[in-house]
């Protein structure tokens, strides 16, 4: 990503603003790998007016919210409570923020919402766009800085003048912002496609902090410009010139060089807020100057990411301490509902008994400390489900179907080793049919497959729909579904059963998008004589590999599927 010039200036301004109003701005999302550039930012943090406290992504509730200090309680014989990190306002430094689980994010977000004055510095070292801080937190942090590609040469020591900051803090409560400022920020946020209302609020606070820093009692244009660059620009989801999408109020923004021209097209709702076009334009320019050049590419990646990794409810977890196959116990705390592995705990404590007895003032036969606790862990592997969606249409169907049947049986034969389940959906005529519900039974499969009819139109969308429903169901039962589409032709039957090529293609694309949006991996196997272009496009929509296999037999088919699965 190419960064516009002056990013380091913005880093400096941002950190100073944060030092003026740490709680109001919520904090900083710092996306940078560990290195000297990041260290420079960290060096500036002690200038913030609150104590620095370090968190880590797997921090427990007891450390966050406090609880009974078991060790002290046991050794003193009195109840000793310990305050959590969140008890006092603090600068919370969260390294490896990209590893933050949604649960921790929700807790931190809750703590920040309660207005106890926390400020979060999230240090995100994510290498891929997918590895990132949960959105529940990014939304609440005013400053978003991406320093990943910033060379060390462009950085310098960040100047933080403690006295000036203290003076600015004293002035902050008196800083006022006119109604016009509120309007401008809100309108601008909408133009940049920012949906959350927190963004303009945070921008407003940043502008106020900057005004206080400059020694003013009212927000002026410079403060506003800087605030827009710091807070709004990194959150932009569209270029301001773009025609707004359907769910946005229609705004035909004029291209900046000729600001008067498009003005008449504005809808009435915002006409009143646009009477001062020059300032708006200056802000817009400011925002655009800092928009990353590859904004759109990033957006596309982000949307895909939401589909893939974004579905991260509590159910997706594989390792746990409750069920599954036991794996070796490890040292841990007892606070998060974990189960103690008594034998391992005793074993860990055993070598120390003599020393501890000598040091301890208590007469006790067994000395166990928190360090000795070993927690039970279990691992649950979710079974893979391979959903074959087979085209049973037209005259060639019989051979194709036979090969598909063969492939299903071959794959099932390996199923015991691979923990795979297999299901088969066939589509023909006007609808799709679930021929084989998810199974690992070879006998059942053979019986069901024997009576598979063929012929008729190609209701591709219906087939995908059935597959998607099945995928969602089986995911709920703890399986990991993959969709394998075997076909040779174009869709010609729409979802509602009418024979209409255009509609059928649209429906198929819609279904493919839905499958991708649900995050299910897929593969498209083209069994036609010649590669079919529309299938390639469909594979792209699915985000799936496209495998042309003309005249495939069952063996080649199952090999291809196995290879694609393991890739």
Tokens for 77, please give them. Answer: 């014989």
Q: Which of 131, 135, 242, 506 binds other proteins (CB under 8 A)?
A: 135
Asked if residue 186 lies in contact with residue 200, where contact means CB atoms within 8 angstroms, the answer is yes
Instruction: Tell me which residue of 509, 438, 507 sits closest to 471, measured CA to CA.
Output: 438
Regarding 73 and contact with other proteins (CB under 8 A), the answer is yes
Where helices occur in 97-161 by DSSP H, the ranges are: 102-113, 135-138
Residue (143 or 187) nearer to other proteins, CB: 187
Strand order of the sheet with strand 546-548?
Answer: 431-439, 420-428, 384-391, 480-487, 522-526, 546-548
Give the integer Cα–Cα distance in Å for 134 and 163.
35
For residue 379, list its beta bridge partners: 319, 325
In angstroms, what is the minimal distance from the CB of 24 to other proteins?
8
Residue span binding other proteins (CB under 8 A) among the ranges 185-193, 341-349, 446-454, 545-553:
185-193
Q: Which of 9, 34, 58, 116 binds other proteins (CB under 8 A)?
A: 116
For residue 470, list its beta bridge partners: none
Residue (179 or 566) nearer to other proteins, CB: 179
Tokens for 562, please give them. Answer: 């196995």
Total residues interacting with other proteins, rule: CB under 8 A: 67
The neighbour count for residue 288, using CB atoms within 10 Å, is: 18
Where helices occur in 128-197 by DSSP H, the ranges are: 135-138, 162-171, 179-191
Please list every residue from 363 through 392 that binds other proteins, using CB under 8 A: none
Residue (425 or 547) nearer to other proteins, CB: 425
Residue (53 or 306) nearer to other proteins, CB: 306
Tokens for 141, please give them. Answer: 């942090």
Regarding 275 and contact with other proteins (CB under 8 A), the answer is no
Residue (272 or 395) nearer to other proteins, CB: 272
Regarding 216 and contact with other proteins (CB under 8 A), the answer is no
Residue (78 or 157) nearer to other proteins, CB: 78
Q: Which of 6, 46, 115, 255 binds other proteins (CB under 8 A)?
A: 115
Q: Which of 49, 310, 437, 453 binds other proteins (CB under 8 A)?
A: 310
In angstroms, what is the minimal distance from the CB of 186 to other proteins?
5
Residue (215 or 269) nearer to other proteins, CB: 269
Q: What SS3 string covers 63-124?
A: HHHEEECHHHHHHHCCCCEEECHHHCCCEEEECCHHHCCHHHHHHHHHHHHCCCCCEEEEEE
Residue (33 or 381) nearer to other proteins, CB: 381
Residue span binding other proteins (CB under 8 A) among the ranges 3-11, 184-192, 433-441, 546-554:
184-192
196: Cβ–Cβ under 8 A, 6 or more apart, which residues?
A: 139, 235
Give the integer Cα–Cα distance in Å for 434 and 425.
4
What is the pairing mode between strands 81-83 and 91-94?
unpaired
Q: Which of 1, 83, 311, 327 binds other proteins (CB under 8 A)?
A: 311
Regarding 151 and contact with other proteins (CB under 8 A), the answer is no
User: What SS3 class is residue 535?
Assistant: helix
Regarding 431 and contact with other proteins (CB under 8 A), the answer is no
Regarding 242 and contact with other proteins (CB under 8 A), the answer is no
Q: DSSP labels for 202-225?
A: HHHHHHHHHHHHTT-SB--HHHHH
Q: Which of 199, 209, 389, 404 binds other proteins (CB under 8 A)?
A: 199
Regarding 74 and contact with other proteins (CB under 8 A), the answer is yes
Regarding 468 and contact with other proteins (CB under 8 A), the answer is yes
Residue span binding other proteins (CB under 8 A) among the ranges 114-122, 124-132, 388-396, 404-412:
114-122
Tokens 């009477």: give the residue.
Answer: 275
Regarding 197 and contact with other proteins (CB under 8 A), the answer is yes
Please list every residue from 473 through 512 that binds other proteins, using CB under 8 A: 510-511
Residue (228 or 468) nearer to other proteins, CB: 468
Residue span binding other proteins (CB under 8 A) among the ranges 131-139, 151-159, 287-295, 325-333:
131-139
Asked if residue 136 lies in contact with residue 106, where contact means CB atoms within 8 angstroms, the answer is yes
Asked if residue 27 lies in contact with residue 205, where contact means CB atoms within 8 angstroms, the answer is no
What is the pairing mode between strands 81-83 and 374-379?
unpaired
The total number of residues written for the chain in this structure: 567
5: Cβ–Cβ under 8 A, 6 or more apart, which residues?
A: none
Q: What SS3 string covers 311-333?
A: CCCHHHCCEECCCCEEEEEEECC
Provide the binding-site residues for other proteins, judged by CB under 8 A.
Answer: 24, 61, 65, 68, 73-74, 77-79, 102-104, 106-107, 110, 113-116, 134-136, 139, 173, 176-177, 179, 182-183, 185-187, 189-190, 195-201, 204, 247-249, 269-270, 273, 306, 310-315, 322, 335-337, 465, 468-469, 472, 510-511, 514, 518
């Amino acid at each position: 990503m190419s960064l516009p010039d002056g990013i380091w200036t913005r880093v400096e301004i941002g950190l100073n603003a944060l030092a003026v109003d740490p709680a109001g701005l919520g904090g900083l999302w710092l996306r940078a790998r560990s290195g000297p550039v990041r260290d420079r930012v960290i060096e500036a943090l002690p200038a913030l007016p609150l104590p620095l406290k370090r968190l880590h992504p797997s921090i427990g509730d007891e450390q966050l919210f406090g609880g009974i200090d078991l060790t002290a309680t046991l050794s003193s014989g009195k109840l000793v409570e310990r305050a959590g990190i969140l008890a006092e306002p603090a600068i919370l430094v969260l390294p490896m923020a990209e590893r933050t689980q949604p649960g921790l994010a929700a807790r931190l977000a809750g703590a920040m919402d309660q207005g106890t004055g926390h400020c979060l510095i999230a240090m995100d070292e994510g290498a891929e766009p997918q590895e990132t801080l949960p959105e529940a937190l990014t939304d609440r942090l005013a400053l978003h800085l991406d320093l990943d590609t910033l060379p060390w040469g462009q950085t310098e020591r960040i100047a933080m003048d403690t006295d000036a900051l203290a003076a600015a803090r004293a002035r902050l409560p008196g800083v006022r912002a006119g109604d016009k400022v509120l309007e401008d920020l809100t309108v601008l946020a909408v133009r940049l496609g920012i949906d959350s209302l927190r963004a303009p609020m945070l921008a407003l606070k940043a502008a106020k902090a900057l005004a206080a820093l400059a020694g003013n009692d009212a927000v002026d244009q410079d403060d506003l410009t800087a605030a827009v660059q710091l807070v709004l620009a990194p959150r932009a989801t569209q270029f301001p010139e773009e025609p707004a999408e359907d769910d946005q109020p229609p705004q035909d923004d004029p291209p900046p060089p000729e600001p008067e021209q498009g003005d008449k097209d504005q809808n009435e709702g915002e006409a009143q807020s646009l009477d001062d076009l020059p300032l708006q334009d200056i802000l817009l320019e400011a925002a655009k100057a800092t928009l990353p050049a590859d904004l759109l590419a990033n957006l596309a990646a982000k949307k895909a990411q939401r589909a893939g990794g974004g579905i991260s409810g509590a159910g997706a977890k594989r390792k746990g301490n409750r069920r599954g196959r036991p794996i070796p116990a490890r040292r841990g705390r007892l606070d998060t509902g974990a189960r103690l592995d008594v034998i391992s705990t005793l074993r860990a404590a055993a070598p120390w008994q003599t020393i501890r007895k000598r040091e301890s003032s208590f007469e006790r036969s067994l000395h166990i400390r928190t360090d000795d606790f070993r927690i039970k862990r279990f691992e649950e592997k979710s079974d893979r489900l391979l959903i074959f969606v087979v085209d049973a249409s037209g005259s060639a169907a019989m051979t194709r179907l036979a090969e598909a049947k063969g492939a299903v049986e071959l794959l099932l034969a390996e199923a015991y080793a691979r923990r795979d389940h297999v299901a088969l959906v066939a589509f023909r005529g006007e609808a799709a049919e679930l021929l084989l519900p998810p199974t690992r039974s070879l006998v059942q499969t053979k019986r069901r497959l024997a009576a598979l009819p063929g012929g008729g139109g190609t209701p591709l969308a219906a087939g995908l729909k059935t597959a998607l429903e099945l995928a969602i169901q089986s995911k709920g039962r703890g399986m990991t579904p993959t969709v394998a589409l075997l076909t040779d032709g174009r869709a010609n039957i729409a979802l509602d059963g009418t024979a209409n090529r255009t509609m059928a293609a649209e429906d198929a694309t819609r279904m493919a998008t839905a499958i991708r949006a649900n995050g299910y991996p897929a593969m498209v196997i083209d069994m036609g004589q010649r590669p079919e272009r529309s299938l390639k496009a469909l594979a792209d929509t699915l985000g799936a590999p496209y495998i042309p296999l003309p005249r495939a037999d069952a063996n080649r088919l199952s090999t291809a599927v196995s290879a694609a699965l393991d890739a």
